[in-house]
Amino acid sequence: MSGRLDPIDLKPAGENWASRAAELVFEPLVVLGNAGELIPVLAARAELLPSRAVRVWLRTDATFSDNSQVTFEDVARSLAGHHLRATKEDSSILIEPDDAATPIELQLPPVYIHRAELGTGGFMLAEQDQSHIVLRRRVPSPGRIASVSFIAYKSPQEAFAHTLKGDADLLPDVDPRWLEFIEGVARLRVMRTPSPYANVVAFNVSRLSREERIWLVELFRSDEMRKLAFGDDCAPPEQGPERKTDGAGGMTRLDVLAVPIFERFALAIRRTLGERGGAVRIQPQREFFNAIKAREFDLVAARPRIWPPIMAVQSSRTGAPTNVLGYSNPLVDAALDAQNWAAAQRALDDDPPAAVICKPEAIIVMDSRIKNVPNLRFWASVAQWEVRQ
């Protein structure tokens, strides 16, 4: 990886590579499938009820890393910290949200079931600091991966160089321009997977008016901008309705905030802005997210989740935990309350918090010996990977 590793914790994934390690130590009851369906993980079965509640049945083999059984009390306590109520009903558990406006199929999947720092995943924490995290398999399994080490380097370039050198067996989030260096290296292979994310330019809605944001969306529509940032390795999105505005009239020079892997993206944004382009600020992940939360930015080069569409639209609800931009639009909120996703998207198009540039594939460089790697739930599947001897 590149950048500092935070300690493994129970926060939802997304702000640090340590969240990927957390996926191997902790498990949720369910995850959200590509069609918006609930897929059981720690649960043996899950049913979405007409009342917008969920009924689950725990797996009978569900245990923590100390081999103690997962109980209803563990589930209730874990959910309570996320405003979800659990009620025991015979062999099942009824789960209801405190916030009925947000669909429970969005609230439940991010919640890890835990007992103190114990998780139910295939690995448990052995070592951690800002430079590395080591996980050990709970139960030895011949032919499967026994340990996973997350190693942090200062930059994406340094992480790539060490992977190419043989110091690492897997490198996620690889710049497509670097793949030519992998050609002919028998030890490594390239894996491309569908990505639920999109490359976007997010706006500081407290600094930029609606007219200015519409103007920026139209400016960033160009193929030139997309290819400058990502070449031909990122598919353009379906374009919304074109909206013309002279919102650039009073616009000052705009700074661009990005993490190191998006340096090229940030420079493409500044170049596209022309005389309105300001400074480019490249910051590590923690400082990057802190700047966003403090609203200390004009534009952000980012890669948020946009699939399933319900998740992307819900991230724009006023006060939603995933609404890191602080966006608020009563028309969007009303449409979400009515579960009218099309109306919510139209309201977002008319008052945009961001401009979608393109939809990338996830490119991963990994050791050729690793097999049984699925495209979906890539990180959570590590415990099932086999290694050719």
Digit-coded pLDDT (tens) for 302-320? 998 887 777 778 789 888 7
pLDDT-derived band of residue 125, with 50, 70 and 90 as boundaries? Answer: very high
151-191: pLDDT as tens digits: 999 888 999 999 999 999 999 888 888 999 998 899 999 99
**Model pLDDT for residues 321-340, shown as the tens digit of each residue:** 778 899 999 999 998 877 78
pTM: 0.74
What's the mean pLDDT in 124-152?
94
Number of other residues whose CB lies within 10 A of the CB of residue 93? 21
CB neighbour list of residue 371: distance below 8 Å, 6 or more residues apart = 385, 386, 387, 388
Sign for the pseudo-dihedral over CA of 161, 163, 166, 167? positive
Distance CA 317, CA 337 (A): 10
* Region(s) of the chain under CATH 3.90.76.10: 27-113
Query: Prior bond to 308 cis, omega within 30?
Result: yes
Phi, psi angles (nearest 5°) of residue 76: -60, -45
Specify the domain boundaries for CATH 3.40.190.10 within the chain: 123-193+363-387
Please name the fold of domain 199-360: Dipeptide-binding Protein; domain 3 (3.10.105)
> In this predicted model, what pLDDT tens digit does every residue of 8-65 receive, in sequence order?
887 655 557 888 899 999 999 998 776 667 899 999 999 999 888 999 999 999 999 9
β-pair type (362-367, 170-171)? antiparallel
CATH code for residues 27-113:
3.90.76.10
The answer to whether residue 240 scores a pLDDT higher than 80 is no
What CATH number has the domain spanning 123-193+363-387?
3.40.190.10
Least Cα distance to 132 among 113, 150, 120 occurs for 150
Percent helix, strand, coil in the chain, to 5, is: 30, 25, 45
Strand ranges in 147-292 using DSSP code E only, listed in sequence order: 147-151, 170-171, 188-193, 199-203, 234-235, 254-258, 277-282
Count other C-beta atoms under 10 Å from residue 28's C-beta: 22
Q: Where in the chain is the domain with CATH 3.10.105.10?
A: 199-360
